[in-house]
Structure 1
Amino acid sequence: MNTVIHRAETRGHADHGWLNSYHTFSFANYYNPERMNFGVLRVLNDDQVSENRGFGTHPHQNMEIISIPLEGDLKHKDNMGNETIIREGDIQVMSAGTGVMHSEYNNNPDRPVKFLQIWVIPNKQGGTPRYDQISLADIAKENKFYQVLSPNKDDGGVWIYQDAWFHIGKFTKGNSDEYQIQKSGNGVYVFILEGEVEINGEKLSRRDGMGIWNTDRFTVTANDDARVLLMEVPMNL
């Protein structure tokens, strides 16, 4: 098993007043040649947007873009005709393909919205743009990882154009679960949303990240009440 650990305090940081963002990988004005990506996982931004503010209409192309609200609601609008509210407990995916224009705004008048913005490099270029969004309430489990994203539209969760699988786990202290790699050669980037866990003897706390590859399974143990996001992705760009 190979691993790399990115502690929360080592992430890139940009405070624009209305946007407070932490970058696990190089993004915008944050550049670290040793933190460009983890396989095809290109961007992992931990964003907080002030009330009544947001990202104006802007373009994307040839990227799988996943948004996961952690606190509050996010308003989305795009040139595919989608105008939706992404709520805490939802997951959204947008395949940019040949090109898409969209905007995202805090939908809460009295508090910030906090969400993860994740970019995955697709396995095909120039695809038709598409949008999907689901609530995780009906598939969530306690003390066990449950799938929220895959390459297959009928396999549970949202889907993207890549051999990637995302799982979320919410654990009470002392509980653990083993994760098995879905596709040989893939790696997993573990991101701690809340609490503290232990993997392979390493303790990881809130917003720490750990990349794992060259193994077919590993176990996550909660040292405290914890919530964890697993992002399994191909390691070859």
Structure 2
Amino acid sequence: MIQIDRASSRYHADYGWLKTYHSFSFGEYYDPNNIQFGPLRVLNDDFVAPLAGFGAHPHREMEIVSIVLKGYLQHEDSTGHKAVTTFGGVQRMSAGTGIVHSEVNPSATEEVNFLQLWFLPEEHGLTPSYERTEFPVEKMKNALLPVVAKQPSSPGIAHIHQDVTIYLSDLERGNELTFTQPEERKIFVFVIDGDLTLQGDALLQTRDAARITETPALRLSTNEGARFMLIDLPN
């Protein structure tokens, strides 16, 4: 089954320094019918103005992944980590028993756009940790490139304490991919840019998403080209 969530259906807020779009209940947006999809609890599409950002604030018992799409994002936390990430990099933070962090745009001229994803962890009481990884952007071409996984197979894949895998892809016109998984699992697809067709008939456009169940083989194609994220999730 494929449930399509159009970009225009997302909750939107404009705070001046931050323009954000929420795919799930978050902050002042609450919908009891839109809390999570499997362990995927938050997907925020954030645009942060130059020299602005989220000041120091706490988190507990959550796996937080940030994927920068454009610009630069500077992270700093109470475990002593500080790093700047741009496209081609992923940061993963395990809040565990408690961590304080900030996420700001260090550029004086350029807006940063990043996807903020929260996942419920497999277990509570983890020691807080932070990781920044870099992936080979060129390997996204006409392939599903894993960038976050429970069991990373290379140094370019961030480790997450949940049975999920996040893939990124640049699918060119005239190409097609098929993703397979066990029947009891779920798939979440988010189109970053372009158009993407699922199973030959479900058309997604830029920033549309799909929540997919009971589909062990998913066919992905495009008319003009697509950059997208695919998440393999447990029930």
Give the TM-score of the pair, scaled to structure 2.
0.95
Q: Is the 1:74–1:85 contact (alpha carbons within 8 Å) kept by the matching residues of 2? A: yes
Q: What is the one-letter code of the residue matched to 1:210?
A: A
Aligned length: 233
Instruction: Note the 1:153-232 alignment, pairs <5 A.
Output: 153-154=152-153, 157-181=157-181, 184-200=183-199, 201-232=201-232
Deviation by residue 1:46-74 (Cα, 9 ceiling, x = unmatched)? 00000010100000110000000000000
* 1:138 Cα deviation after fit: 6.4
Contact 1:77 1:104 (C-alpha < 8 Å) held by counterparts: yes
Distance in 2, Cα, partners of 1:116 & 1:50: 15
Q: Name the CA distance, whole Å, in 2 between partners of 1:184 and 1:78.
A: 39
Q: Which residue of 2 aligns with 1:73?
A: 72
Q: Structure 2 matches for 1:1-237, cutoff 5 A?
A: 2-137=1-136, 140-154=139-153, 157-181=157-181, 184-200=183-199, 201-235=201-235
- 1:54-95 per-position Cα deviation (integer Å, ceiling 9, x unaligned): 100000110000000000000100011101001121111001
Q: CA RMSD in A?
A: 1.3
Identity %: 38
Distance 2:128 2:184 in 1: 28
Once the two structures are TM-superposed, the CA of residue 43 in structure 1 deviates from its matched residue by 0.2
Is the alpha carbon distance of 1:126 and 1:184 closer, same or farther for their aligned partners in structure 2, counting shifts above 3 Å?
farther
Unaligned runs of 5+ residues in structure 1 are none
Shift of 1:16: 0.8
What is the CA–CA distance in structure 2 between the aligned matches of 1:43 and 1:52, rounded to whole Å?
Answer: 24
Task: Work out the CA distance in 2 between the residues paired with 1:216 and 1:79.
Answer: 41
By how many angstroms is 1:130 displaced?
Answer: 1.1
Structure 1 residue identity aligned to 2:104:
Y
Q: CA deviation at 1:139?
A: 7.1
The offset of 1:141, in angstroms, is 3.2
CA–CA separation in structure 1 for the residues paired with 2:176 and 2:98: 41
Report deviation, 1:172: 1.2
Report the more deviating stretch, 130-139 or 30-39: 130-139
Structure 2 CA distance, aligned partners of 1:106 and 1:173?
A: 34
